[in-house]
Amino acid sequence: MATTWRPGVRGTDGAPPPLPVLPQFPGMRGYTQLRTALTGLGFRHAAELLREPGRQRAAGGVFGTLPKAETDDGFRVLDGLWFPGRGGLWQRVDVPFVRRAREAWQVSADPRALTAAAVTDILETLARDHPMGLRRVVLWELCCLLKDGAAAGTAITADDVAALGVHRSEARLLAAAVDAAFPADGQQRRAAEEFNDIWPSLRLRRAEHVADLLPAAPDDHVLAALIGGLRARSAKVRFRAYAARRSLACGDPRAAAAAWLAALRQATDAPELRAGLLRAATALADAPSAPERDAVRAGTDGRRVGLTWRAPHVPGTRPAAPVTYTVLRFDDDAPEAATEIAVIDVVGPEARLLTAHDPDAPLGRALRYAVLPVRGGRVAGVPHVTAPVLIAPDVAGLTTVPVPGGLRLRWRPHPAATEVRVLRHGMPDVGAAHGPMVVPCSADRALDTALDVGTYTYEVSCGYPGPGGGVAWSSGVRVTARAERWPTPVEKLTAERVEDADDAGDRVLLAWHPPERGRSMLLPWPGGPVAPGSDVSERFARTTGVLAPGGDAPDLRPEAPRPHGRAAPAQYLEVRVPPARRLRMTAVSVLGERAVAGPSVVLESPQQVQDLMVRRLSAGRAEAWFTWPEPAVLVLVSWHDGARGDARHVARSAYKRALGRVELDVPDLACTITVTPVTRPDAVAVPAPPAHADLPALPAPPPPEPPPWRNWWRRWLRPRAHRA
């Protein structure tokens, strides 16, 4: 066949002509929209739209039924788009033909006329751009209709082609060509219809992805030329990316940034190119020779980051297209994961100082911000990159309070912090330097004890989850405090009740040894107990003004020097406990203006039970009244009849709920009821004598009367004696 059929030479051996080469893509931008518009107007393909409305009505039978050979009014499409004209001549569909079809639609009474005329304008543009553009589109539509309309496993016939309006002289060849080479509906066909919308353009990566779905060596010379241009562009971009990496490796970030920028301007949808440009711009911004006037300044306020920069401007010139600035945020070591946070539109050259804000920057990560100038959808220059910005808020309200033996720190951590670190720096008054040392702490406080006297600086930092599972620490807040010399607490306090033959026995002797450092005092302590070693400086100052202290510290003068290794003699204090009182005596160590609590002892002298009265309620039940002996919280109520007895404790709260009555289970015999105050188990008590009350025995019941039937004979004899 190849030796018989040649261009310009008629075949002589009767061999069939070769099959036509079908288009492998529509070859126009916006084909999908054109296809949708034609379908909405009720046209199967563009050739039906190009017939004037009058011609369509005259040829209604041709498009509705299969045309016959002698009256065939179909169009030709294999060697160009042709419609039959007057006198048997063929009219080529060119720009004037399309204009006449549009004018015919504009004056038509068809309800689709205006929309059809608008679609015809699109076809006129296509015919003007390329002489064979309309033929390619119509032929592509015919191939799609034939391939999709054929049943699975059946061949496409010439009648199928003629039914779409194609002249019978081309119907057989077109049917055979579609059967042999045209792809079925699927991914390849959709890629072919989309390819011209993407390429030529700046979306190089998207075009490469679509081109991978098309034939690698297409027979369509137009498609082959487009794919060849795409491959050439891809090779040029790869070479520039390679040159950029080499320049950055050689320590030339300026050349690397220029190469990345040139590559990105040819492939705006390539994320690896943008990441390379940001990496080179970061190295350029960190270089010592970076111009300060082009820098982007970043300021932080909590989690809010503010950016300011100056737009470059050449005096006397205006940009050909408006410039916009895209602000990106990325981790210091991960520019490939950059996030767009703002787009700033610059209306004119008068906008010099520009600002942008990131209201919610992530915590615990070293961030970079880049400002990309964009003009016409392409990056217009090397972006400006900020220095690393770490958003890690510090603690708030850091305070220090001196405590015995050290310092106590308090603060308010940030809610997002996962850890808190306290470092101690300091130089004591005597000895070597301390720090930095880690001080154990909780989320909002720390207690640093066993410190030498001196001035210390504490640095408190918040930790946040960082990249790679690490911890990112805040810059830290510092506070300076001084550890003072504190007195040591009294170690032991003993109490012993003094009993004399001629005394009431309400005296208690207290004994203790003075502390190693400071002077000791024994005070009646108001309020609740305090733990030994607690700071009571303020309470001690208030207490000593109204209470009489006892011990070896009648004043607050500094401690006199004590010989080393010699124990101080014991101190004694005799205290008389008033009746109906509870007294807490606490040992306090004093040194200068500092006071530390020591052990305590509770002295208690309960009141004697008074006004005790008892009475029986019923058999086995009795009740007692008495005045409660303060300050006891329990009393012991017991009874005894000489042979046996019983007792139980009654609480003050239960006594008050019963309105001052205590019910008892008692025997019917006479017994003695005793009420004894019970002192606290941890107190040194001055016992109070118990109160007694006698409960008489239950009276014996009277003897029962005899029944009536026992004296019947007496009543019977009494009348007879009377009669005698």
Does residue 125 register a pLDDT over 50? yes
> How would you list the strands of the sheet with 683-685, edge to edge?
550-551, 519-524, 581-591, 594-605, 683-685
- Rounded to whole angstroms, the Cα distance separating 587 from 523 reads 6
Position 58 scores a pLDDT of: 43
- Could you tell me the two tokens for 410? 């308090």
Distance CA 264, CA 379 (A): 7
* Distance, C-alpha 289 to centroid of its chain: 39
Does residue 170 surpass a pLDDT of 60? yes
**Residue 573 contacts residue 502 (beta carbons within 8 Å):** no
Residue 96 backbone phi and psi in degrees, to 5: -60, -35
Higher confidence at residue 277 or residue 428? 277
Residues 126 and 150: their CA atoms lie apart, in Å, by 29
Question: What is the pLDDT, as a whole number, of residue 258?
Answer: 94
Candidates 117, 80, 85; CA nearest to 98 is 117
Give residue 117's pLDDT: 93
The gap between the terminal CA atoms of the chain, to the nearest Å, is 182
For the chain, give the percent of residues with pLDDT over 70. Answer: 84
Structural tokens at position 485: 């010399």
Question: What integer pLDDT is reported at residue 649 of this predicted model?
Answer: 92
| Residue 173, pLDDT score | 92
The residue type of 246 is: R
Kindly tell me if the per-residue pLDDT of 395 is higher than 60. yes
Residue 11's pLDDT band, with cuts at 50, 70 and 90, is: low
Percentage of the chain modeled with pLDDT above 90: 38
> Running DSSP on this structure, what letter comes out for residue 321?
S
3-state SS, one letter per residue, for 322-378: CEEEEEEEEECCEEEEEEEEEEEECCCCCCCEEEEEECCCCCCCEEEEEEEEEECCE
How far apart, in whole angstroms, are the C-alpha atoms of residue 133 and residue 121? 14
> Are the beta carbons of 392 and 472 closer than 8 angstroms?
yes
Q: Is 532 helix (H, G, I), strand (E, B) or coil?
A: coil
pLDDT at 172 (0 to 100) = 92
Contact present, 529 and 521 (Cβ < 8 Å): no
Residue 77: per-residue pLDDT? 93
Q: Beta strand 378-379 with 334-345: parallel, antiparallel or unpaired?
A: unpaired
Q: Which pLDDT tens digit goes with each residue over 279-332?
A: 999 999 888 776 665 578 888 877 789 888 887 654 445 555 678 899 999 988
Q: Is pLDDT of 372 > 70?
A: yes
pLDDT tens digit string along 473-525?
888 999 999 888 888 888 888 888 887 655 566 788 888 888 888 888 888 88
**Residue type at 321?**
A
Per-residue pLDDT band at 5 (split at 50, 70, 90): low
pLDDT value, residue 555: 40
Determine the Cα angle at 271 with ends 268 and 275, to 5°: 110
Give the model's pLDDT for residue 195: 93
State which of 176-190, 278-292, 560-574 shows the largest mean pLDDT: 176-190
Residue 134 to residue 405: CA distance in whole angstroms: 96
- Runs of H (alpha helix) within 472-572: 537-543
Residue predicted with more confidence, 703 or 172 = 172
Average pLDDT over residues 145-172: 88
For the stretch 587-632, pLDDT in tens is 888 988 888 888 988 888 888 888 889 998 888 889 998 989 888 8
Q: Would you place residue 1 in the very low, low, confident or very high pLDDT band (cuts 50, 70, 90)?
A: very low
Angle (CA) 407-413-414 rounded to 5° is 165
Tell me the pLDDT of the chain averaged across its residues: 83
Span 173-185, average pLDDT = 91
The answer on pLDDT for 370 being more than 90 is yes
What does the pLDDT look like over 575-589, one tens digit per residue? 888 888 888 888 888
Nearest alpha-carbon partner for 458 in 421, 485, 430, 429: 421
Task: Give dist(CA 666, CA 697) in Å, integer.
Answer: 10
Cα 4 vs. chain centroid, distance in angstroms?
77
**Between 647 and 431, residue with greater pLDDT:** 647
> Using 50, 70 and 90 to split pLDDT, how confident is the model at 723?
very low
Tell me the C-alpha to C-alpha distance, in Å, between residue 261 and each of 130, 294, 381, 382: 34, 17, 7, 7
For the segment 668-690, what is each residue's pLDDT rounded down to a tens digit?
A: 888 999 999 988 887 888 888 89
pLDDT (0 to 100) of residue 299: 83
SS3 for 52?
A: coil
DSSP assignment letter at 698: P
Tell me what pLDDT residue 121 has.
94
CB atoms within 10 A of CB 413: 20
Tell me the mean pLDDT in the region 407-416.
91
Cβ burial of 655 (10 Å; 0-12, 13-18, 19+) is middle
Which 8-state DSSP code applies to residue 80?
S
Residue 552 pLDDT grade (very low, low, confident, very high; cuts 50, 70, 90): very low
